[in-house]
Amino acid sequence: MRNLQRYTGDIQRFRAKYRLEEGKPVWGVMAHINWDSVSDYSPMAYGSFDEWMMDTVDQVSRIPDVQWLIKVHPAEVDYDPRNGVQRFVEERFPSLAPNIRIIPAGEEISPLEFFDVVDGGVTVYGTSGLELALAGKPVILAGEAHYGGRGFTEDGLTVESYRASLHGQPRQVPSACAKPSWPGGTPIRFSSNARFRCPSCATRHHHGGRCSMRNGSS
């Protein structure tokens, strides 16, 4: 719990620090600890977390109209960062594409603030993907997460399908009270009792509900 950050709501400070352009989509790549044993038991599209990260960085460097934030797992502060994700990426990509930023493990930002900044996220099977989905934002998985396969994630269970999801993710910043959607504009189909958080008023509407800031209460 030593690395737990308090939520301040000050996302503009974070946006300025990482030079994020207004009006341009921001997606998060939520890294795993590369030696996490979960990869030994749960199927994933790649042979290892390192292979997944290397291919993800290569693929998103070809999507310049989206800003990508590689968020290093905060536990790396305490567990040998010399062999962690940040060093791995920097060694293999000494000149990162201008649309990619690395968020170090020790960055002072609450996960909730990070979720406020991004418009969607990518992980293999990290719990952060579930948390982001609960915020009403699209999530692309590269493995069989315990919350995957339930209709609210895009599951890239092969390298080909994962890459297709990356290149097909929404390229526009969500409009006020926009229903979350998958590539091509297809709405995410929730159960009848599911709710998503409106990016305009931050309340949770039933799928298909209306935002009180635009069309009256849901």
Q: Which of 73-77, 92-96, 109-113, 210-214 has the lowest mean pLDDT?
A: 210-214
137-148 pLDDT tens trace: 999 999 999 999
Identify the H or E element spanning 28.
strand 26-30
Its sign, for the CA torsion 76, 80, 83, 89, is positive
- Say if residues 8 and 117 touch (Cβ distance below 8 Å): no
115-144 pLDDT tens trace: 999 999 999 999 999 999 999 999 999 999
pLDDT for the residue numbered 5: 61
Q: How open is the CA angle 167-149-191, to the nearest 5 degrees?
A: 105
Instruction: Parse the chain into domains and list their residue ranges.
Output: 11-173, 175-218
CATH placement of domain 11-173: 3.40.50.2000
